[in-house]
Structure 1
């Protein structure tokens, strides 16, 4: 959302106000009631045992005790990430971080995040969910009181509503609401208007290169060599920041017993497993947001036409307090406007309203809580049928041998006859939807005869064996379901299909596969370049030779991968395998060749010399690359000043979970760095980086005796 910065705040106004900003003293936060925090903390007791990798295992009598301890442990490791996440959800981040955070505050107020949470917190969330949230908030407050030097003034006290607001803010951005909002602030209108009676088609979903994604696999006993059920959890996230994974293990006497990954500010496992079942998410991209073009009354710009009548906008003011320097800040007032459709944005090229799935939903955290606590497939499906998590593919497996793939989406019930991928006319109330399709109407595959399901951010119509796949024709095009394949899916699904007796070792080999598929966009691009007549440019002729020798692997010793990947990330929006190249291939070849010659004096340095995994003093070659099952993304299309690609996203927290024939669960995992997310002095800042590079997983000690054999510390709080 920082892309909207000066479009929202106004650059010239900001500059003028900075000049006189010394007149605006930041108000002193109200005095913190420390006694109230201590009184609240006394209600809880949590035991935090850290294993030899520093991973916190939290034990307590109640779920809220465990949430209290989880907040304390996570704050110890990552408070500097958690704090701005909470401030962003309050819509006050700019008063601490300055003008770059002002767009976030504006969007929070425009989307009415705080108002929605306040109105629905008591009515929509169950009592046990609120107890969990408040235990987590009390844990952060207690930790903050003990560590005042790390907490900025005015942040405490944190409330359960703050935690929910974080979910409400982040969840719709998982399916791209930020991109829809961002395009409204472009210099020109970005789409046409669908006026009805249109023949809708399957639409592609454009996105930036590289395509950041995830992998998830479930294998039933019928497909396993030993009759075990297996689950691979492999979300691709940034290596650091507010959506970077943090590993946890939680256990309460009330029955909450789970392990997996969570985000800063989240009080539970977002993906992972409990004793009986597990799940993995990948990002999907259904069409869950609609933009309406409003007709404005020429005699009154505070009215818009709806069903033949002029209707008044609802208006308000966003008071954006922006930190300037030292103790000084300034309040910028920006117009807030809403129509019957939702928030309104006025631009020179039109006035627009936006409506998005989840604008009225606060129960995402409750759905994840129910998934954490589910004991069997039926209970877990009851949680999924809440549809409070507005998007995300979900792969499932359990001790009874059930597996499933769900194209989870809180899909609006929309009128027929319109192309909902385009802008909609804003003068028709029939287009303002208020209901959602049940999950059963979306692509769902349960216990397919093939015995496996998988997703790598590809179309849901390729989720298992071709004989068991769903038919896209059975689903309305107005859903906007993606049809593209990623390279990861092109590699993964054939590997699973060819193996009718999958072992644990084989499944990990498939997850860590290093190749581009023979029919991938990368392979087609290389074939096109190699076939060109480039006789007049010796450098390009040599580059053709290097490319012609590429076997499309990204192992660290490969001598052609550097040139191939450099070209591919310039020309391909990964997963859009039917789109034309996004650059001129010969120019991409030339630029890439010159880049390599400038840094290495050759076109074929080993891939490991280029592709690096770096964390503090740890600096190692790493296999994999963009849209490889062993995914490594650098977020760039040229080498850095040292001639490297430094990984910044992709494979992060990886889990391999299995249930044996008796129903016993075993779990292994690896994190790209370690449990100490920001503390370079900690032994756990990079202690997992070596195993991560080696593509090795470590055992998670699920039983107390195994944990105590490797425990590093053991404390009880408060």
Structure 2
């Protein structure tokens, strides 16, 4: 019976498929990284899906399940809430309206190829399918998942939590995991090459952990970089001509409106003096362990997704669920051969957020990218808006040329570390916030990483490549700490005033602000940070007495679990993969950032931060010189030799050499095969 079901499923999927897997070559290098070769882009996409499924099919399915309304069947209530958000955001309606017309035919062919590869893998491995009925995944399913992902990028998840909670969320230290992007122009380097650091800080595992792949077709697609599970194209990386890095930005991409509800009809709201009916639909949520579907209403107003709470009825509006083309823009960026072509791809402004730091042999460029609405300046867009007038209903967006951006600044370098776009290069070359529409809501703050990088660059002449790498791997905090809560009072404590924690106070006072695994000061500071992450003072202020009280708790914790207080960071913080547990450097908001959670026996394990790193050198007329490293390995299967084989390299802050040259890849590959073999 089982073999019959498999055969039926396989036949059904093969009728959907048009790509012959024999036309696709997967070459696994010594690190297990897949290099996909084929004649056409859709065939390469097929190979990417198949190779990635071989390495991490389970996580890919976590992206596909909500689009099918089936995450609740796998994860229970938590998953069902995600299924509901897909419907709340009108993802099915957007896909139905735009799939045929908004997306180009060549890109739809790429997505078809990707899904054929994914569906073929599911057909050949039915025991790995998490929930019955998920496969085959159609293009329409896929883009419903894209809408959800781009909405989360824009902050919809946090906004919904605030609305349902009836309050603004507190500072979330862990969420601000950070990223780094650095580009150095050839005029600023000792060897005349341009340098690019692609250094996003992401969760180390899960649906938004980086996967490394090389995609190469005979149609001009030749790129190596990082993508997320279910990504059909590289999200940031380097091709034969150019490369770019992303960091998360925080300009105002999402607005919240309070609707004026009709007192005699709760299903109506006032809009331009008229009562208008709320759109509604019944969503069937299927939850693991519950034999019948749960029915929940999803509402929609002229502004967008609408939530009814005890404190009022609120609508959310963001460009992320009003445009289907985000992934196509990434594909166009992948295929660009010149800065002009790359910039043309960016004019789509379909990716709702992310800073973009770019380099090629002649040009460096930075833009704080986003799908930013054109808003009426008469309203306060930082607050909840009146949802009863067309004056607050924006319908257009700022074009790319109006966003903060730099091309080849005189200082010779560009950087972003999740801070203000108005500190992106040498001080004399920076843009000013006053030059831009204030309703865009761009960040105006710096952080520890940006402050430290500015310290490193101050007074530098031409950089050699080793100095560039040293700056990228710098693990020191700046002279003045710039966390969301002012922790500087800890360093002003006098040991004589608090003898019971005098040892920790002295350790902090003598600390050089470096965050290597041997640092005792970094261990004490991480203990402080871990406490504050979960126990922020209501006024965000730290008195000397409060600092001393926190140090007493840290000391008690260290003594309880380690039997002493002079522990090193690497004893306290671990990089954990399966049964392996190794000392690791880094703290939140150093350039080599690490964010940890409770592990066991008083230890912490890194959950997010430094993960996939790609360093590139560009020289005119030559292939880019590339080196990369991933925090664990190419496979998410514990029994695979590439499950953790990059871990030691990563911890030593070393890299592996990579190439875009097909001949070299095939010559040095450890395994070359076709999907399904």
TM-score, scaled to structure 1: 0.89
| Aligned equivalent of 1:239 | 204
Q: Aligned-pair distance for 1:206?
A: 4.9
Question: 1:650 is matched with which residue?
Answer: 609
Counterpart selection for 1:444 from 394, 405, 409? 405
SS in 1 for 2:640: coil
Which residues of 2 match residues 77-116 of structure 1 at below 5 A? 77-116=55-94
Deviates more, 1:537-546 or 1:137-146: 537-546
Contact 2:487–2:542 under 8 Å retained in 1: no
Residues 251 and 531 of structure 1: is their aligned pair in 2 closer, same or farther, counting only changes over 3 Å?
closer
The correspondence of residues 485-634 of structure 1 with structure 2, limited to 5 A, is 485-521=446-482, 527-532=488-493, 535=496, 537-571=498-532, 580=541, 584-634=546-596
What is the aligned partner in structure 2 of residue 15 from structure 1?
none
Deviation at 1:149, TM superposition (A): 1.2
Q: Using a 3 Å threshold, how does the CA distance of structure 1 residues 500 and 572 change in structure 2: closer, same or farther?
A: farther
* CA distance in 1 between partners of 2:7 and 2:352 (Å): 38
Q: State how 1:73-152 maps to structure 2 within 5 Å.
A: 73-151=51-129, 152=131
Query: Are the aligned partners of 2:424 and 2:430 in contact in 1 as well (CA < 8 Å)?
Result: yes
Which shows bigger deviation, 647-656 or 481-490? 481-490
2 CA distance for matches of 1:508 and 1:416? 44
Is 1:299 the counterpart of 2:264? The answer is yes
Point out the more displaced range, 50-59 or 304-313. Answer: 304-313
Unaligned 5+ runs, structure 1? 1-28, 192-204
Q: Which whole-Å CA distance do the structure 1 matches of 2:369 and 2:485 have between them? A: 32
Structure 2 residue 353 is matched with structure 1 residue 394? no
The answer on 1:691 being equivalent to 2:653 is no
Where does residue 628 of structure 2 map in the other structure? 669
Matches of 2:554 and 2:354, distance apart in 1 = 35
CA separation of 1:185 and 1:559: change in aligned 2, threshold 3 A:
same
Deviations 1:8-66 (A, max 9, x none): xxxxxxxxxxxxxxxxxxxxx99965324224445332100100111000000100010
Alpha carbons 1:95, 1:329 under 8 Å: kept: no
Superposition pairs for residues 353-372 of structure 1, below 5 Å?
353-372=315-334
* Mapped contact 1:367–1:384 kept (Cα < 8 A): yes
Secondary structure of 1:593's aligned partner = helix
CA contact (8 A) 2:329 2:350 kept: yes
Counterparts in 2 of 1:520 and 1:532: CA distance versus 1, 3 Å: closer
SS at match of 2:371: coil
What is the correspondence of 1:191-590 to structure 2 with a 5 Å cutoff?
206-209=171-174, 211-324=176-289, 329-399=291-361, 401-521=362-482, 527-532=488-493, 535=496, 537-571=498-532, 580=541, 584-590=546-552
Residue aligning to 1:641: 600
CA contact (8 A) 2:69 2:286 kept: no
Q: Is the 8 A contact 1:85 1:264 kept in 2?
A: yes
RMSD (Å), alpha carbons = 2.3
Secondary structure of residue in 1 paired with 2:612: strand
Contact 1:32/1:156 (<8 A) preserved = no
Q: Could you say if the C-alpha distance between residues 33 and 597 of structure 1 is closer, same or farther in structure 2, counting changes exceeding 3 Å? A: closer
SS of 1:565's equivalent? Answer: helix
Question: Any conservation in 2 of the 1:338–1:344 contact (CA below 8 Å)?
Answer: yes
Cα shift readout 1:248-305 (whole Å, capped 9, x = no counterpart): 0011011110000111101111100100000000000111111111111111111111
> CA shift at 1:555, angstroms?
1.1
Report the Cα distance in structure 1 between the residues aligned to 2:326 and 2:468, rounded to whole angstroms.
Answer: 31
The answer on whether the counterparts of 2:447 and 2:482 sit within 8 Å (CA) in structure 1 is no
Residues 604, 521 of structure 1: alpha-carbon distance in 2 compared, 3 angstrom cutoff: farther
Number of equivalences:
664
- State the match for 1:19 in structure 2: none
2:11 aligned with 1:35: yes
Q: Secondary structure of the residue that 2:425 maps to in structure 1? A: coil
What's the secondary structure of 1:453's corresponding residue?
A: strand
Q: Give secondary structure in 2 for the equivalent of 1:162.
A: helix
Write the distance in 1 (CA, Å) between the matches of 2:121 and 2:351: 29
Give the CA deviation at 1:67.
Answer: 0.5
Query: Hey, what does 1:20 align to over in structure 2?
Result: none
Q: Is contact 1:66–1:250 with CA below 8 Å preserved after alignment?
A: yes
Q: Judging changes above 3 Å, is the alpha-carbon distance between structure 1 residues 80 and 581 closer, same or farther for their aligned structure 2 residues?
A: farther
Q: C-alpha displacement at 1:447, in angstroms?
A: 0.8
1:384 and 1:454 map into 2 onto residues whose CA distance is 19
Structure 2 portions without partners, runs of 5+: none
> 1:119 Cα shift?
1.8
Give distance in 1, aligned partners of 2:53 and 2:632.
17
- TM-score, normalised with respect to structure 2: 0.94
Q: Retained in 2: the 8 A contact 1:546–1:603? A: no
Q: Where does residue 9 of structure 1 map in the other structure?
A: none
Once residues 675 and 117 of structure 1 are traced to their aligned partners in structure 2, the CA distance between those partners, rounded to angstroms, is 32
CA spacing shift, 1:670–1:30, aligned 2, 3 Å: closer
Q: Residue 245 of structure 1 contacts residue 263 of structure 1 at CA under 8 Å; is this kept in 2?
A: yes
CA distance in 2 between counterparts of 1:715 and 1:270 reads 25
| DSSP 3-state at the match of 1:322 | coil
Kept in 2, the 8 Å contact 1:571–1:585? The answer is: no
Deviation, 1:147, is 1.1
Q: C-alpha distance in 1, partners of 2:428/2:605?
A: 41
Question: Once the two structures are superposed, what CA deviation does each residue of 1:425-445 show, in whole Å capped at 9, x if it has no partner?
Answer: 111111011100111111101
Comparing 601-610 with 483-492, greater Cα deviation is found at 601-610
Whole-angstrom CA distance in 2 between matches of 1:266 and 1:418? 38
2:400 and 2:542 mapped to 1: Cα distance? 36
Q: Please say if residues 454 and 493 of structure 1, whose CA atoms lie closer than 8 Å, have aligned partners that are also in contact.
A: no
- Offset at residue 476 of structure 1 (A): 2.4
Paired residue secondary structure (1:241): coil
Once the 2 structures are TM-superposed, how far is the Cα of residue 81 of structure 1 from its aligned partner?
A: 0.4
2:32 pairs with 38, 43, 54, which one?
54
Asked whether the equivalents of residues 277 and 396 of structure 1 are also in contact (C-alpha less than 8 Å), the reply is yes
Contact 1:175 1:284 in 2 (8 A): no
Tell me whether 1:162 sits opposite 2:162 in the alignment.
no
Between stretches 210-219 and 66-75, larger displacement belongs to 210-219
1:567/1:588 contact within 8 Å kept? yes
